Amino acid sequence: MEYLENRELSWLKFNKRVIDEAVAPENPLLERLSFSAIYQSNMDEFFMVRVGSITEDAKSHKKKDGKSGMSPSQVLDVIFTTVRRQQVCTEEAYHKTFAELAPFGFEHVSFNNASPEEQAFLELYFKREIKPFISGMVINDKLPFPFLKNKELYVAVQLSAKKDIAIGIIPVSHENSQRIISLGKGGKRFILEEEVIMQFAHLMFKGYKVQDRTVMRITRSADIMASGRGAQFRERMEELVIKRSKLSAVRLEITGEFSRQALDYICRKLKLKNDRVFSSHIPLDLSYLYQLQELDPDPQLHFAPRLPVKSASLIESRSVFSQVKAKDILLAYPFESMTASFIRLLEESAQDPKVVSIKITLYRLARNSKVISALCTAAENGKEVLVMIELRARFDEANNIEWSKILQKAGVRVIYGPKEYKAHSKLLLITRKAQSGGYDYVTQVGTGNYNEKTSRIYTDLMLLTADRTIAADASKVFDSLVAGSFVPDPAKLLVSPLALRPQILAMIDDQIAIARNGGEGYVAAKINSLNDGTIIRKLVEASQAGVKIELIVRGICCIVAGVPGYTDNITVRSIVGRFLEHSRIFIFGAEGASQKIYIGSADFMSRNTVRRVEVAAPVEDEKLKKQIREMFATLMADNVKARVMLPDGSYVHAEPAEGEERINAQEVLFDKAAERLHEKQIKQERLRKNREKGAAEKAKKSVAKKSPAPKKPRKKKSADNDAAD
């Protein structure tokens, strides 16, 4: 269909928006380098996961993709063509940024451009600091081909041979490895270690003549999936994490040009076709660019500092639990502090003698997680602590395996969720004894992980509520996770895989009915990705019925907006900025009493809606609904970091109209969070002064009331008065 786009091609368009940030003039220069590194990291994961999966589909001759009409092999062809085209943009961004950084002293030096003195220094450095720690391997048909680790750098050389071919391979990484080799200016003028090794590779192969050389890097498939529930599941996952590092190669990257004969030989040994070889004229691993950030504190090279503020919704002198019991609270990250809100709630609950149980789902955690610390403390204090930790969280499997062991050691009951389904929900339920003799509950439903690090760089929302119906739904979710089953009929929450998509479709149907009856039908969503075919078809139906649909989709979007006759009433925006847009918001209905707003962990992807356990919660407090509407409106008004999708599926920058102010939504939302806190502080100061003034006046009146009234002195009679008497 002309209003559909292939998932992988849509993702590549998203990553193109990322590399566009590497040349965006409003971004400081060192921050632009970070976007180049992010682009490359994204591409690595794309090849490991998606290309790895599609490669397997191609081998098994799977059917054509319903959205694009292409077979897996055709999709791979288009992917490789697009990636090569985008590589040009990546290289241009890298060179352009370094050219602009030159006045600040930054220079990535090639060996040939180094001065004679620097070249002599580098030769000595190689012999003393590198060569003793590395070794070269000679490969030919008589010798086994070595295992090349995923994403590791290697120097490859073609060696002279009497017959056939000989290849030399040198691993770059070693125990004394130092990627950036300083040539002056505090490390700003530098060369990379792999470039030095490549330059002096001939010294590693005595008796051979080096005919050609390059740096290379292998990307291996990471497409692993395991099912299971019991104690043996963790052992199975540990085995799979080890196995993943040895999965088949899906890409070979090289620097510059390299001998076709040698390249063909390496590809044959790796069982790779030539179309899987990608040449680059910039470093193959750009992760080192983050280190450059620390070399110059000049403010014009960095984003202005933006620190989370304490939430204006919370009072420091009162427990978080008691405040949530009084009213629903909405928290927004990174604009507000997770430590001063959610972590505080967990730590208070761990110590509160009246809290009897804490139940939580965990997906990705910070390295030194305060969440884990609080949960362990709670268990050690005798509370019932149930943790559903997802061992299949991609690339966090090993971390979560270790966290599960730590939690169990502390006395926490650890479970792993349904056998065939990941649990991606962000759900917390705290139960506390009430003074009445019963129990009070606080339920938290969020859009992002319980991760203090990412809470400072991802935009997410978190709802805290004492609603007893929501607590009952949350309890059902945890019971189902323990049992390995699913919740079929929650009262308020949306819970996949059984009770999220049907409710989403029903609420869109409500808006279709309103529009067909002459009313104002409205649907809005802010999500990371959209590829659920059932939801897409319903959105098209709604558009055709006249429902206004506003979508903010950061990444994959398989619906094309503005296609005549199909998606005329749909607009799609993508925001790629300083912070990763990660929050999910669903809005059904125009502003008014009947409008429904949800936040949750699910994207509109089939993997989320029908193949995972996800939870979304209704936002029912009118003040909080207004806050979310204003947030969504701010994002829709962004004309600095937003891109708008055109009917051909391409994206263009949202430009301010003539005379219109420039709006960077993320900056605006930071300012609004600070303003809310400032207004609260002013209000509290005013109340404090009024209380002090009232107390002073009350004390004054009290003193006056207790003290007897002074007697009036008698007047002394004058002589005239005496005579008159």
Q: Are 525 and 554 in contact (CB under 8 A)?
A: no
Instruction: For residue 61, indicate whether it is catalytic.
Output: no
Structural tokens at position 636: 């829709």
CA–CA separation, 82 vs 12, rounded Å? 8
- What's the start-to-end Cα distance of the chain, in Å? 121
Sheet containing strand 522-527, strands side by side: 494-495, 615-618, 596-600, 585-588, 522-527, 548-553, 570-575, 642-645, 651-653
Q: Are 480 and 497 in contact (CB under 8 A)?
A: no
CA–CA separation, 373 vs 378, rounded Å? 9
Sheet containing strand 107-108, strands side by side: 107-108, 189-192, 180-184
Structural tokens at position 335: 């604009």
Strand 329-333 versus strand 355-362 pairing type? unpaired
Query: Count of CB atoms within 10 A of residue 102's CB?
Result: 10
Query: Count of CB atoms within 10 A of residue 117's CB?
Result: 9
The secondary structure of 483-531, three-state, reads HCCCCCCCCCCEECCCECHHHHHHHHHHHHHHHHCCCCCEEEEEECCEC
Cβ-based burial of 209 (10 A; exposed 0-12, middle 13-18, buried ≥19)? exposed
Q: Are 461 and 447 in contact (CB under 8 A)?
A: yes
Strand segments, DSSP code E, in 447-529 are: 458-465, 494-495, 522-527
Place of tokens 């041979």: 161
Cβ neighbours of residue 689 under 8 Å, at least 6 residues apart?
none
User: Which one, of 413, 397, 472, lies nearest residue 239 by Cα?
Assistant: 397
Instruction: Identify the active-site residue in 95, 202, 302, 424.
Output: 424
CA–CA separation, 250 vs 55, rounded Å? 8
Q: Are 39 and 285 in contact (CB under 8 A)?
A: no
User: Which one, of 16, 122, 4, lies nearest residue 70 by Cα?
Assistant: 4
Give the helix, strand, coil percentages of the chain, each rounded to 5: 45, 20, 35
Q: How far is CA 258 from the centre of its chain?
A: 37
CA–CA separation, 169 vs 153, rounded Å? 10
DSSP class of 499:
B
β-bridge partners, 644: 573, 652
7-20 vs 29-46: helix axis angle to the nearest 10?
160
Cβ-based burial of 226 (10 A; exposed 0-12, middle 13-18, buried ≥19)? middle
CA–CA separation, 32 vs 51, rounded Å? 27
Maximal C-alpha separation, the chain = 153
Structural tokens at position 47: 């090849």
Q: Are 314 and 673 in contact (CB under 8 A)?
A: no
Indicate which residues carry an active-site annotation: 424
